[in-house]
Structure 1
Amino acid sequence: MDAFVGEIRLFPYANGRSVSGWCLCDGRKLPISQYPALNSIIGNLYGGDLKTYFNIPNLIGRAVMGSGTGGGPTPNDLPLTTRNVGDAVGERTSSITPNNIPSHTHQVAGAAYTNASNVDTPDATTVPSAPFNIKVYAAYNSATAPSTLAPATIGNTGTPYTTPLIVNNMQPCLHISSYFICLDSGGTYPIRP
């Protein structure tokens, strides 16, 4: 098959087995002395010591993404990010912690006093209510800082903080086989303009 040294192809039939002139893209180390052409093309972009060995890309369980400068998933996303060839980014899972939750507020509800429906014991159907003819509200004065309520005024709900929840980030995918890179013996050396 015609190919260039360093070309990467997805083989839907190899299922991880070796293909003559090609190597599974699994991040392995290759000796420079045995693959000088491939080393001259990819160098140590994916790892290596620049003396005796270099690594090929590890595409096992990874999606391929182009390099360059741009925003996030849409053109208007900021800040701009530079994605260099060989950068491995992303994660298969994430830990959801309180830091992942956006800041938010809680509203306190109240009701006007009505002698007919007020009760002495609060339950899940009641809200705070002021006694009749007792003035408990005042206009907000921006020159005077409002007082902070005692923490017990509004209680916490839900479950207490526990070990972070691990969630899967993997996009829907179909496993058909593996990526392979063309070795020195499998292709033609690409001529650069």
Structure 2
Amino acid sequence: MQILVFLLDNLFFVLVFASLLRAWMNQSRLRMTEQPGRFVMALSDWLVKPLRRALPNGLRQARLDWASLAAAALLALSHALLLHLLSLIWLPGFDWLSWVWSVPAQALLFLLRTVLQGLLAMTLVYALMSWIQPFSPIGGVLARLLAPLLQPLRRRLPLVGGVDLSALVLILLLQVLLLALG
């Protein structure tokens, strides 16, 4: 059971984060023809495209990518529902009616955890790329995506020996939020 839950968690993490990253990249007006845009589209097109067609015309033309956000929400709900169904199978006497409240709550927690873990991974990659290969294309994309989170920290933190520690502080803050969420 633990192996199956582990595999489901990781599969849905990748799918949900791809949908959220797609929305964020579209919001930031980043080109989806470069990495990680192509990878994100390959992972999320199967759900985002039909949702985009199903949305009312006003939402389709909005600045916010509602189809990608809806895809992330549907995937998180599917993840929570699958975990509940697994609990029904493996735990005799499990309360059938508990899913009414716990599935949406689990889906919301999964979405929040995915956002925090995804930001943590992106910040780690950004920090490493800025030290190893500062002018790489993925570094530029990550810099644009993480700028809204790093700029407030940069305004408050002084450079230490000419080194910007804002990414490291963001990593610590995200870890604290993940601990609080857990």
The TM-score, its normalising length taken from structure 2, stands at 0.21
Higher strand content, 1 or 2: 1
Larger helix proportion, structure 1 or 2? 2
Q: Which has the higher contact order (CA 8 A, sep 6+)?
A: 1
Normalising by structure 1, we get a TM-score of 0.20
Higher CA-based Rg? 1
